[in-house]
Chain A
Amino acid sequence: MTTILDPTSGRKVVERERLARPASLVGLTVGLLDISKPRGDVFLDRIEQRLTGIGANVKRYIKPTFAKLAPVDLRHQIATECQVVIEALAD
């Protein structure tokens, strides 16, 4: 019998429950995150029009660069200011 060493970090992945999908967006604040890819703004401008048209509040956010994780402060700001978030990957 061969015994080998575990090459992984041994991390146990924490499963997080998703929040329940809201029945309506009316009156909720929706964050729109532009990751700074070309034409992401075009997509989000249209989404903003549609959302405000149905009575949602919209807040816009931009990642400094698409090539790195969103900074902790930005993620915290979105989490505290919004009930829903939409991210434009634009690829």
Chain B
Amino acid sequence: MTASTAPLLPDGIVVVVKRECETCQMVVPVLRELSEAIELHVYTQDDPDFPDAPAAVSDSDLAVSWFHNIETVPTVIRVANGVETNRTAGWMRSAWEELTGVEDLGADLPPMRPGCGSMSVDPDLVDGLRVRFGGSTLSSRRIEVAAAEDEFEMMFARGWTDGLPVVPPTDARVMAMLEGTGRAPSDIVTVVPPNLDEITVEKVAIAAVMAGCKPEYLPWVLTAVEAACNDEFNMHGVLATTMPVSPVIVCSGPGTRAIGMNSGGNALGQGNRANLTIGRALQLVVRNFGGGRPGEVDRATHGHPGKVSFCFAEADDTSPYGSLAVEHGIEPEVDALTVFAGEGPQGFVDQLSREPESLASSMAARLQAIQHPKLVMMFDAIVVMGPEHARVFAAAGWDRNRILTEVNSHLNRPGTDLVRGAHGITEGVPEAFGEAESLPKFRPGGLMLAYAGGGAGLFSQIIAGWVNGDKGSKPVTRAVQY
């Protein structure tokens, strides 16, 4: 039998027990005392013959336990006129006596003993129970996979994957995922390009399941989807461009550590579930819900591997210059993320500079080359500095502003150097800029710093951007909404 609404509790005293629980076994004599004194109703979760006396009502489908939020057995509930008025969990003589109104209970027992976990909150059972008793909250179309059909192959065949297998989004998995947020499944998150339909929290949760996320990652995925799908970030253009860019998600705040994100060695690489699956979930939202697929609206000439997923955490707790989110106006210690339309990371090696002036000049020389040494002010960039490079600046007392100012000071070139045709190279800035005395590589705010990486290695990584500003994409930073 399956209950879809809360079963009513009978008036009197209700006790929920299971045989597997030693505390429940211990209180059987108390249950007998109570059954002789008052109106007592015992519900048993596992063995219908437990206790043998007084006789118990079976709650083998756990409907009573689920709907009445039993977290511990034994739980004692007082019910009057069908309504719960009080409850106590575990065995505590004084609490049982007060609740039942019966004196001198369990004289041979210790005064208190904690109970055991209810089967209705057993991690192995809870996802199934949530579907059985609360399944009506999801509104997505159900698709039945035939018994002889492999669900993984079926999802490949429908074009729902990024080339790697995805986790089948069953009711149980999606409902478990939704436990990761306080938002209702039907809440509208944003409008997703290129098809421009409104996406709900439920549909984002489906993508998160498929990507391999845990429920605690969902708020980060929801925030990333909101941050990417708007006019400012211009997800449509980032998707449709021939350039090899996609949303890069830079996360910071204590929540990154709570969900186990990697900000240390190999932070931009493989091996961390949270980093990889949060970025992947955003991509699957755009692919499956938005309808943005390679060869269709996605016109990338080459693409890059980070278009499967590109998401990492900053080590903002040890950063000598704070986080990118704080640079963009978020309070310190607030969980936040920035989406940036970026390419794959490109290396910057300088193993000899021990003075900040040398390292700043060296970094600038490397940055001048992003996209093209003669193209300026069109593209932003994030430098993900490793601890060993950052230490050179920190030891000299340079803060974020000082580092950026010094690096930018080496990134000015006369128009004659950059104009089309200069140095025998046709590519370059338009002729109108040829007379300019000095042209900066980056627009104001276009060069950004993040802090991540392992403790060894005098390296940093540069993430070069796409067409910036109103004409293209702006980095968008959002506090994570739980």
Contact = CB atoms under 8 A, between A and B. Distances in A.
Given A7-B289, A9-B195, A2 B236 contact: no
A11 interface: yes
Contact of A67 (B138, B169, B197, B472): B472
A6 B141 contact: yes
What secondary structure prevails in chain B residues at the interface with A? mixed
B470 interface: yes
Nearest to A7: B288
A5 B291 contact: no
Contacts of A7: 140, 160, 169, 203, 206-207, 210, 284, 288-289
B228 to A, nearest CB: 15
A65 interface: yes
Interface in A1-31: 1-11
B132 to A, nearest CB: 13
B242 interface: yes
A7 B143 CA distance: 10
A68 B141 contact: no
Contact of A4 (B151, B197, B290, B470): B151
Interface string B171-206: 100100000000000000000100101010001001
Contacts of B471: 64-65, 67-68
A65 B138 contact: no
Contacts of A6: 140-143, 206
A85 to B, nearest CB: 19
B53 interface: no
A5 B470 CA distance: 37
Interface in A24-52: none
Interface residues of A, number: 17
A2 B197 contact: no
Contacts of A8: 160, 288-289, 291
A72 interface: no
Interface in B276-329: 284, 288-291
A91 B174 CA distance: 42
Contact of A5 (B138, B197, B236): B138
Interface in B125-143: 138, 140-143
A3 B144 contact: yes
A4 B195 contact: no
B237 A68 contact: yes
Contacts of A9: 192, 195, 197, 199, 203, 289-291
A3 B140 contact: no
Contacts of B203: 7, 9
Interface of B: 138, 140-147, 151, 155, 160, 168-171, 174, 192, 195, 197, 199, 203, 206-207, 210, 234, 236-237, 241-242, 284, 288-291, 466-467, 470-473
Given A2-B145, A3-B142, A5-B143, 15 more contacts: A1-B146, A1-B147, A2-B170, A3-B143, A4-B142, A4-B145, A4-B170, A7-B169, A7-B206, A8-B160, A8-B289, A11-B291, A65-B470, A65-B472, A67-B467
12 contacts: A1-B144, A1-B146, A3-B144, A4-B169, A4-B170, A5-B138, A5-B140, A5-B142, A5-B206, A7-B140, A67-B241, A68-B236
